[in-house]
A and B are shown apart, each in its own frame.
Chain A
Amino acid sequence: MNLRGTLPTLILEAIERHPDHGYSIAQRIKQRSSGVLDFKEGTLYPALHKLEMEGAVESYEEFEAGRTRRYYRITRAGRAELAQGRKEWSQVSRAVTLILNKA
């Protein structure tokens, strides 16, 4: 299923509780949607960089298991953006459900 437009919100949701690295974020989104939401992982990083440019996430490098990894953590602005994303999605999904149930 195409994630266009919703990927930033899903990323923010994936790192809401604790910072994580790109591969883990991708896997978490796929697992939590039971494999329904699938996307090309090459587009995950541009989305992360965009969120970083907007100030919604911060990144830092950490040495782990013999190699350096870049971790992303949500910022205060990112939490506000996530709350807004949840609200918008809830409205859209309710509206679509209404339409489809009437059909």
Chain B
Amino acid sequence: MNSLEQWLAGATRGLSAESAARIRAEIQQHYDSACEAGDDAIAALGDPRAANRAYRKVLLTESEAMLAPVLTQPKRSLRSVLVIGLLASLWLLSPVRPDPGSWPVLAAILSLTAVYWLYPAKTLERSRAWVFIHGIWTVLVVAISVWYRGWMYALFLGAVCFWVGWVSSYRRFSIFRKLAAGQTFSLLPEEPPLTHAEAMYLHALQNGERYENASIACLFVMLAAGSFVLPATCLPAAIWMAGDFLARRILPIYTEERSRWFRIARWTTMAAAAVLPLLYGAHVLPLLGAVWLASFFLLFDLRRIALRRKLPASKWPQRLYC
């Protein structure tokens, strides 16, 4: 690989195919002109990582290009309603008894889903409005939580609302802004039987270790914080997650048969962790929280199950085995 190719590889890392093609063409023109003028073209271009960081802000990245078709043709998702329902149930079944104050907080949280159903962010203007809506919503949830449940609860909830809501809405706005500037994207080279969402997930499994680790780290932080507030509900889940995370990385499970045994063991331990304490007379309410959390993971695992069913094992990325 020559030095221009090395520079381009660094500068286009993680960008969509169309963005990378445009940069390649433009930098090649620049390089040719610089060589004709007798300049040291590569030195003049500077650090490719700095250029890459700047390009990511203004051109579609690979992950944004994958999200773009979903955003431009949004469907009212049953999955999001189920996830919200599970979270609401987890909340209401928590060991801290749902006092009258839980209802206004819950209503404030769920109101956003209702607003999104009525006013989906499918254009630039709407996505810009949603950046503000999420900001206002976070402040509203925090204010109501402070009033009814106290500061600690409100801060924990505010952090989650900010992370989940505002960051995702800003990302959506950024994608629409780039699309409005005339940037294009191509659809994923999908395996024929896969849906777009499955193809996106497969791509993330193949390439997204950084994002996966980041989201697991966030979940850990949330569970660790939750363990202080609701120890009986969140602590078993946090311990189980830590065990699962380590087992996935340490155990040699990358054959079809071993992976099947691993998954059976995984779900058995999760069910046991939820059910066994009941037999020893533990109060049912804290444990129902753990059961709901397990269902939450199962909901995400359904996509992996679909991928395993649709793809031959020879095409499974390493992270699909577990």
Binding site for B on A (CB under 8 A): 21-24, 26-27, 40-43, 45-47, 49-50, 52-53, 55, 67-70
Smallest Cβ distance from A48 to chain B, in angstroms? 9
Q: Could you say which residues of chain A place their CB within 8 Å of the CB of B58?
A: 46, 49-50, 53
- Contact present for B29 and A53 (CB under 8 Å): no
Alpha-carbon gap, A27 to B44, bound state (A): 11
B29 touches A21 (CB 8 A): yes
Contact partners of A26 in chain B: CB under 8 A: 30, 44
Contact-residue bracket for chain B: 20 to 34
Within 43-79 of B, Cβ neighbours of A (below 8 Å) are at 44-48, 50-51, 54-55, 57-59
CB distance from B181 to the nearest CB of A (A): 4
**Which B residues from 166 to 199 make CB contacts under 8 A with A?**
177-178, 180-181
Interface string of B17-58 (1 = CB under 8 A from A): 000000101110110111001000000111110110011011
- SS of A interface (majority): helix
Residue with the highest number of chain B CB atoms closer than 10 Å, among A43, A46, A67: A46
Counted as pairs of residues, one from A and one from B, with CB atoms less than 8 Å apart, the total is 70
B residues near A24, Cβ cutoff 8 Å: 33
User: Which of A47, A50, A67 touches B32 (beta carbons < 8 Å)?
Assistant: A67
- B11 CB contact (under 8 Å) in A42, A50, A68: A42
- Option from A22, A40, A55, A69 in Cβ contact (under 8 Å) with B46: A40
B: which residues have CB within 8 A of A? 7, 11, 23, 25-27, 29-30, 32-34, 37, 44-48, 50-51, 54-55, 57-59, 177-178, 180-181
Which residue on chain A has the smallest CB distance to residue B43?
A: A40
Cβ-defined contact, B33 with A23, below 8 A: yes
Smallest distance from the beta carbon of B121 to chain A beta carbons, Å?
19
Q: In the complex, what distance in Å separates the CA atom of A20 from the CA atom of B181?
A: 20
Q: How far is the CB of B278 from chain A (nearest CB, A)?
A: 57
Residues of chain B within 8 A (CB-CB) of A43 are: 46, 50-51, 54
- Chain B residues near A23 (CB-CB < 8 A): 29-30, 33-34
Knowing that A41-B44, A45-B27, A55-B181 touch, tell me 17 more A-B residue pairs with CB under 8 angstroms: A26-B44, A27-B37, A40-B46, A40-B51, A41-B30, A41-B34, A41-B45, A42-B27, A42-B46, A42-B47, A42-B48, A43-B51, A45-B26, A46-B57, A49-B58, A53-B58, A70-B25
Q: Does B55 lie within 8 Å of A22, measured CB to CB? A: no
B29 adjacent to A49 (CB under 8 Å): no
Given the complex, which residues of B lie within 8 Å of A41, measured CB to CB?
30, 34, 44-46
Known contacts A43-B46, A53-B178; is A22 also within 8 Å of B51 by CB?
Answer: no
Which residues on A sit within 8 Å (CB–CB) of B54? 43, 46-47
Q: Are B55 and A46 in contact (CB under 8 A)?
A: yes
CB closest residue in chain B, given A51 = B58
Distance in angstroms from B7 CB to nearest chain A CB is 8
User: Could you pull out 20 A-B pairs where Cβ atoms are within 8 angstroms?
Assistant: A23-B29, A23-B30, A23-B33, A27-B37, A40-B45, A41-B30, A41-B44, A42-B7, A42-B11, A42-B48, A43-B51, A45-B26, A45-B51, A45-B55, A46-B54, A46-B58, A49-B58, A53-B178, A55-B181, A68-B29
